[in-house]
Amino acid sequence: MLRSVVIDDIASIRANNIELIKTYCPFITVLAEADGVETGIQIIKQYAPDLVFLDVDMNDGTGFDLLERLKPIKFKVIFITGYENYASKAFRFSALDFLLKPINPTELVEAANKAITNLDKEILELKFNTLFSNLERPKNLQKIILKTAEKVFSISIQDIVRCESDKNYTTFYLLDGQKLLISNTLKEYDIMLEPMGFFRCHQSHLINMAYFDHYLKTDGGAVVMKDKSLVALSPRKREKLFLLLENI
């Protein structure tokens, strides 16, 4: 049984979220609720929960303010936010769970089930450190959490040369020559990385345009990266590539 608290500055939303947790997540006990940063810190110190459902924007500060004051963070967090914004991107890069208001019960159960699994404290700390780092860094210096079968890495996005799909797996090719095999689809990373200067040049390939070298006309067209790797270019993506190059 997971011991939890719910923190949100709107009473009706707190009540609704608590009811959803009780209905759909019987393995979670809600010990207390709070309406902001200060009261949230109080109940976390009082109850030492395993899991905190944490609103991002509150009247007396943000969920990030609360976490900064409770370092080192020893509990799991499911963030709750009212809309897709810079914060939700930071959650994705940091591999931390978040839910959009109003909470979808299916997504709640999925996030809660992840929270049941035992997470190494060092990995949890790495994820939060990556989150806080990204909130402070400019767009071109963001980091992303990548989990292989053996390790969890916090990688600078600017160090990713390209990504290649292999069914439900994605291989990351890094600037230093490393290759990381991740058990997530390329589509997920396409959504995350496209705003960071990446281009889906083929169904199986996502490239960092910062490392584009030149376009090769032979064999139907291909992209040559600065690390000398040759990447397939889909014919229907050729025009978009040329438009991107015009704007570099």
- Structure confidence at residue 167 (pLDDT): 87
42-68: pLDDT as tens digits: 999 999 999 999 999 999 999 999 999
Q: Which of 246, 166, 156, 170 is nearest to 209 (CA)?
A: 246
216-239: pLDDT as tens digits: 987 678 999 999 999 999 999 999
Position 137 pLDDT exceeds 90: no
Q: What are phi and psi of 3, to 5 degrees?
A: -95, 125
User: Among the residues of 117-174, which ranges form H helices?
Assistant: 121-136
Position 209 pLDDT exceeds 80: yes
Tell me the mean pLDDT in the region 118-145.
87
User: Among the residues of 2-62, which ranges form H helices?
Assistant: 11-24, 37-47
Answer for the pair 162, 208: CB distance below 8 angstroms, yes or no.
yes
Sign, CA torsion 2/59/57/124: negative
9-18: pLDDT as tens digits: 999 999 999 9
Answer for the pair 37, 48: CB distance below 8 angstroms, yes or no.
no
pTM equals 0.84
Position 128 pLDDT exceeds 90: yes
What is the set of domains in the chain, with CATH numbers? Answer: 2-134 (3.40.50.2300), 144-246 (2.40.50.1020)
